[in-house]
Amino acid sequence: MVRTKWIILILAAIAVVGCKKKETPAPAAEEQAAAVEQEKPAPAPAEPIQPLPESVEVDMEKVVLGRSLYHDTILSGDGTVSCATCHMLDHGGAEPRKTSTGIRGQKGPINSPTVLNSAYNFVQFWDGRAKDLQEQAAGPVANPIEMGAVWDEVVAKIKKEDEYAAAFAKLYEDGVTQDNITDAIAEYEKSLITPSRFDKYLRGDASALTDQEKRGYQTFKEVGCTACHAGVLAGGAMFQKLGLVKDYFADRGTPLTEADMGRFNVTKNPADKHFFKVPTLRNVELTPPYLHDGSRETLEETVAVMGRYQLGRELTQQQVNDIVAFLKSLTGELPPHAKMPEGS
């Protein structure tokens, strides 16, 4: 009888233990993984502007050849204009004039955009009519109001220059041709990258910017500028209408020009009127006057205009000042090989 009693007690204890195990089951592997995941800190949000690379792979022999061609007036019809005439390295790769001046003092219709970092543009020219740097390099040479040359004559002149002929023979199987000339110029332009203090900041150096520059970058994002000015160029990656929310051209007070039509001049689609490639903001401190029409002399004025016509905002003076301070942090340094050696 005693033995039976102990057996009953043991079976009851086993039953109780079994019930407790059912009440507190071990978490499944998926639940454990989820708990660990929740303990991890959330990843930092991606910045709308990405850093420029600190270096770029190029053929330096072609770069040196392209540099000579870029600065040589031999590419123009009357020997007075070079690529550097309108894309001045000391002016941020752009020009200090409202619109370009070509051979015989002819005035072009539009302000020259910067050539610096231009390999990262998704297309070239304000209206996007060239798909890459090589195609872009060919256009101004043959334009009658820019460099005003004939390509066959340019090729013939360069072939007569011993140093050029030797350089092309070394680098290209077919020597001096239009394609090879523009290829060398494009290789040089590809090399013109200008990392800045802001890139150091993006890579984790918080001391690279001042408090006002940081505040300006935050304001730049908060008011909506990064909807268009993003990526490694802080621009250069889309077309956008000038006067998106308010009619810029009606308020400008001067007659419309063909250049004002923008992308429409390429596509002939009425929906593309007044659309332009969004310009890069890198080195923008160095490139006044601003906009495709060269109508704005200062960054402060340009920032306010963009707030009004692109964002529908009347920015405060403090916001404008802070954004301008941030934009100046995008000013970079030319690579050592960019300029022609002295005495050359």
The residue assigned the tokens 């419309």 is 256
In angstroms, the first-to-last Cα distance of the chain is 117
Examine the residue annotation and report whether 146 is marked as an active-site residue of this protein.
Answer: yes
3-class SS string, the chain: CHHHHHHHHHHHHHHHHHHHHHHCCCCCHHHHHHHHHHHCCCCCCCCCECCCCCCCCCCHHHHHHHHHHHCCHHHCCCCCCCHHHHCEHHHCCECCCCCCECHHHCECCCCCCCCCCHHHCCCECCCCCECCHHHHHHHHHHCCCCCCCCHHHHHHHHHCCHHHHHHHHHHCCCCCCHHHHHHHHHHHHHCCCCCEHHHHHHCCCHHHCCHHHHHHHHHHHHCCHHHCCCECCCCCCCEEECCCCCCHHHHHCCCCCCHHHECHHHHCCHHHCCEEECCCCCCHHHCCCECCCCCECCHHHHHHHHHHHHCCCCCCHHHHHHHHHHHHCCCECCCCCCCCCCCC
Residue from 154, 149, 182, 192 nearest 65 by CA? 182
Catalytic position from the list 95, 146, 189, 213:
146
What whole-number distance in Å separates Cα of residue 309 and Cα of residue 76?
38
Residue from 231, 194, 219 nearest 311 by CA? 219
* Encoded amino acid at 281, one letter: L
Rg of the chain over Cα atoms, rounded to whole angstroms, equals 30
Q: Which residues are catalytic?
A: 146
